[in-house]
Amino acid sequence: MIYTVTFNPSIDYIVDVKNFELGSVNRTSAELMFPGGKGINVSMVLSNLGFENTALGFLAGFTGKSVQKMLEVNGVNADFIEVEEGLTRINVKIRAQQESEINGMGPAIKESDIKKLYEKLDNIKDGDILVLAGSIPAVMPETMYSDIMEHLKDKDVKIVVDATKDLLLNVLKYKPFFIKPNNHELGEIFDVELNTRDEVVPYAKKMQEKGARNVLVSMAGEGAVLVAEDGQVYKSPCPEGKVKNSVGAGDSMVAGFIAGYLESGDYKKALNKGLVTGSASAFSDNLATKEEVEELEKVFCSEA
């Protein structure tokens, strides 16, 4: 079984406004609404690709119930903890002359809620995959990711981490199956600017030396780099297409990599699947569907 954890889910409300004006009444020309959060995006795409998975995390209030329902409609097993105080946040993205975002706060998560999460994590078995993705709400311990990995250290679980800065660095000693920083996040860790695939490689290797088994670095239009635990370094451009929406593209790459690895056990094929899946989401208003991935795969993987 594949499990994902989203600590601060959301309803993502995306609106197009042709000429946004501050201080005025603005009317939308198009609207989209999705369940949001990095782990949730991974779950949604895995479900689209035909991989059963369970989404864990915290939900609250009527917005939380809406997220639960949207996930269930999409075929995701949503096993969230219901928090008593507050609301699952609504994140608003305004697409106008420039893109602007307003992100909500999220509910008040208590120690008793965190305890319930650990009880659910205890159901994870040897051979399962756990995806830890996204930021930690301010009301929770900053060590949450490393605490979870410490809790599961005696189980043979493949743990995937998509996080930034100390949240990522602190888990490396637990040897996560793979991590997925982007080139800017990786550069920030080492205080360097990384713009090309060749520039990324030595710093990805440094992350591997610190404990990560596989390091997948996403680079938007530049493609991706994978420093694999078998000693190989794979560098690839991304498929060509028109970017419509970058939200969830990195999470889709994580889902695609997991799917590709489970299908083949081959890191190069997993990288290609990750690139294609991330691109399919970027080229669509929604997260990638299986049909979109397969169509892009026919062209890209024949050329790769």
Q: Which of 147, 230, 251, 266 is catalytic?
A: 251
Average pLDDT over residues 155-165: 93
The tokens describing 116, both together, are 């319930």
Partner residues linked to 131 by β-bridges: 4, 160
Rounded Cα distance, 21 and 235, in Å = 43
State which H helix or E strand residue 295 sits in.
Answer: helix 290-303
DSSP assignments along 152-214, one per residue: TTTS--EEEEE--HHHHHTTGGG--SEE--BHHHHHHHHT----SHHHHHHHHHHHHHTT-SE
DSSP assignments along 222-291, one per residue: G-EEEE-TTS-EEEE-PPP---S--TTHHHHHHHHHHHHHHHH--HHHHHHHHHHHHHHHHTSSSSPPHH
How confident is the model at residue 120, as a pLDDT? 96
5-36 confidence digits (pLDDT tens): 999 999 999 899 998 998 999 999 999 898 99
The tokens describing 72, both together, are 């269930």
Read off the pTM.
0.91
Partner residues linked to 23 by β-bridges: none
194-224 confidence digits (pLDDT tens): 999 999 999 999 999 999 999 999 988 888 9
Strands 129-133 vs 53-59: parallel, antiparallel or unpaired:
unpaired
173-185 confidence digits (pLDDT tens): 999 999 999 999 9
277, 295 contact by CB (below 8 A): no
What are the b/e assignments for 242-276, b being 16+ CB within 10 Å?
Answer: eeebebbbbbbbbbbbbbbbbeeeebbbbbbbbbb
How confident is the model at residue 296, as a pLDDT? 87
Q: What domains lie within the chain, and their CATH numbers?
A: 1-17+30-176 (3.40.1190.20), 180-304 (3.40.1190.20)
Q: Is 80 exceeded by the pLDDT of residue 301?
A: no
State which H helix or E strand residue 12 sits in.
Answer: strand 10-16
Rounded Cα distance, 73 and 104, in Å = 24
127-146 confidence digits (pLDDT tens): 999 999 988 888 888 899 99
Closest CA to 189 of 171, 214, 174, 175: 171
Rounded Cα distance, 45 and 218, in Å = 17
Provide the pLDDT confidence category of residue 302 given band limits of 50, 70 and 90.
low
Provide the pLDDT confidence category of residue 304 given band limits of 50, 70 and 90.
low
Partner residues linked to 3 by β-bridges: 54, 130
Query: Is the CA virtual torsion 287, 292, 294, 295 positive or negative?
Result: negative
Beta-carbon contacts of 192 under 8 Å, excluding residues fewer than 6 positions away, are 203
12 is catalytic: no
Q: Which amino acid is at 123?
A: N
For the chain, the average pLDDT equals 92
Provide the pLDDT confidence category of residue 303 given band limits of 50, 70 and 90.
low
Beta-carbon contacts of 201 under 8 Å, excluding residues fewer than 6 positions away, are 225, 227, 233, 235
Average pLDDT over residues 91-119: 91
Average pLDDT over residues 32-49: 94
50-103 confidence digits (pLDDT tens): 999 999 999 999 999 999 999 998 889 999 999 999 999 999 989 888 888 899
How confident is the model at residue 142, as a pLDDT? 84
